[in-house]
Each structure stands twice: as C-alpha cells, then as structure tokens.
Copies of this chain bind each other. A is one copy, B any other.
Amino acid sequence: MKLKPLYSFLQGDISKIEKELEQAIQSRSSLIEEASLHLLQAGGKRIRPVFVLLAGQFGNYNIETMKKVAVALEMIHMASLVHDDVIDEADLRRGRPTIKAKWNNRVAMYAGDFMMGRSLEVFTLIEKPKAHQILADTIVQVCIGEIKQIEDKYRFDQHLKDYLRRIKRKTALLIAASCQIGAIAAEVDEDIHEKLYLYGYYVGMAYQITDDILDFTGTEKQLGKPAGGDLLQGNITLPVLFARQNPEFRAKLEKVHENMDRNDLKEIIDDLQTSGAIQKSWEVSNQYLQKALKVLSTLPNNRANRTLKNIALYIGKRDY
C-alpha cells in the first residue's frame, strides 16, 4: 500500500507547491542555496502540505493561498530536520548524506535558520492573526520538545507520559497545526478547524509511534539508516518502554551507550522484537488512529474527509 495514490487528485497542486519550495530557497548565497536544495531534493513525503491542502478543502480553497501555507509549514519542518541532524550527529537522512555531513555543522545551523526565515516570509502573506499565533506557538513547542529530547536521553527510568509529551511536541503539533492553519487560511468555521487540529494531533501521534516502531523493525534499506538508531542515540521510544517491563531486558538496556558494541545492540534489538513490545506499540498507535477517525465522523463527509480517513488507515498499516 502506498500513500501517494490516496491523494492523486491533489497532484497538480502538490507540483505547484514543489515549484514554490524551489523558489523559496533561492538566495544571494550559493552555499545556502545549494545546502537547502540538497535537502529539498532528498524529497520526503510532503505530508504536511498534503494535510494543509486537505484541510483547506473544507472551506474556500484557493490554491494561491493554500500554496503559501503549505510551503511555510514544509519549510519549518525542513528547518527542524536540518537542526535535528546537527543534534543527532546524523550522517544520513532519507538515505542521502545530511547537510551537516556534506558541509558542516555551521552551515547546517544557518541553513536551518534561513529556511525558518523564508518560511515566515512566505507566511506573512497570510493575513490571519490566529494562524500566526498557532504557528509561533508550535515553533516554540517544537523547540522545547527538542531540548527535552536532549534532557531525556539515556534516562532509562522515564515515564510513558515523558515519551508522549515529547512526540507531541516533536511531531504531532506541527501536523495538527498544518491541518488547522490550512483550514483557517480557507476561512473554515472555528468548530471545524479545531476538529481538524484534533485529527492532526491524533494522526501525528500515531505517525511518530509508527516511525519509532519501524526504527526497530525496518531494514537498513527501508530506513535509509541502520535499525535501532534511536536507541543507540539514547532516545527512549515506546517499544523500549514496553520491553523495559521485563527486568532482564531492563538490565541490558541500562548498559546502552553511544559507543557500545554493535553485537550487544543487536542482541537488545532481537530481545525487544520477541518481547511483544512491538505489538503493544502498534496497539497504542491504533488507539490514536481510532480517535482520529472518530473526529472525522463528526465532520462534513466530502472527498477531503474520505482522504484524511484513508491516510489514517494507511498510517496504521505502513511498513516503512
């Protein structure tokens, strides 16, 4: 099952967004432009623009307006990816060298700042104070989430709620904001754009949990990086929290560190995969997806609604 065919009717508009993204990164500095283009061409699912467009279909859908919102949100996402790569000391992203690896940390940091600035520049064309408020709040929360992730690294005694708050900030809020701001830009009524926010939040949570599961179950080819990378970097995700209930696993877990023997890591990953933790994590993801579907059932039943439903169902089944 693939994601793209679910919204093939938006393909023309998505191409327009792609072009707008290429325009947005043009600059007087060839270095910054090359670095940004490098990231842009690495692709990615452009899932945030898709949510923006779908949410906009609940109101006065004007592609010129929707395009600006979609580009702004995708660029904020891209900026956070570049800065993440600095933090994670990652050399690969989507199977290609990161900006940080190809140039250096300094370029990665300013390329991220630049993309954030361009995003705001594009977004100022949307004259809806509420939309600006949501976007700014989201940016702050994403940053707090990133710092929390640093604070929580290798904290093997953390709680489930620490994890859930972290992925809310890290992923779910920006998807929720994409849905809500897309709707606001299309002048959708408040009760509907708030529901779309909620849908985005639930789907975002499920999406990140799935990502965290796939980091253990995916192959290196599927992930574009070796499996178990999150754990190695000290990021404690949902499958680890479930597997940790076993004292034997927990004892091994507490010995995890960045420079550990890869065979020891492999043993932990094998233990985790046979512990039932993966299955339990899928169940949590599904609970969020059920909530997302329930929200949709209270919204007008149009093509966008059916597509949002299919996307939620897809996330529940995706295997990379």
Contact = CB atoms under 8 A, between A and B. Distances in A.
A107 B139 contact: no
Q: How many monomers of this protein are in the complex? A: 2
Interface in A113-142: 113-114, 116-118, 120-121, 123-124, 127, 129, 132-133, 135-137, 139-140, 142
B106 A86 contact: yes
A42 interface: no
Interface string A46-85: 0000000000000000000000000000000000000100
Interface string A91-128: 00000000000000111011101101110110110010
B118 A140 contact: yes
Q: Is the interface of A mostly helix, strand, loop or mixed?
A: helix
19 contacts: A27-B140, A28-B148, A29-B147, A31-B147, A31-B150, A83-B110, A86-B106, A107-B147, A107-B150, A110-B143, A110-B150, A113-B143, A117-B142, A120-B136, A120-B139, A123-B136, A124-B129, A124-B133, A124-B136
Shortest Cβ-Cβ A-B pairs, 3 listed: A117-B139, A117-B140, A120-B136
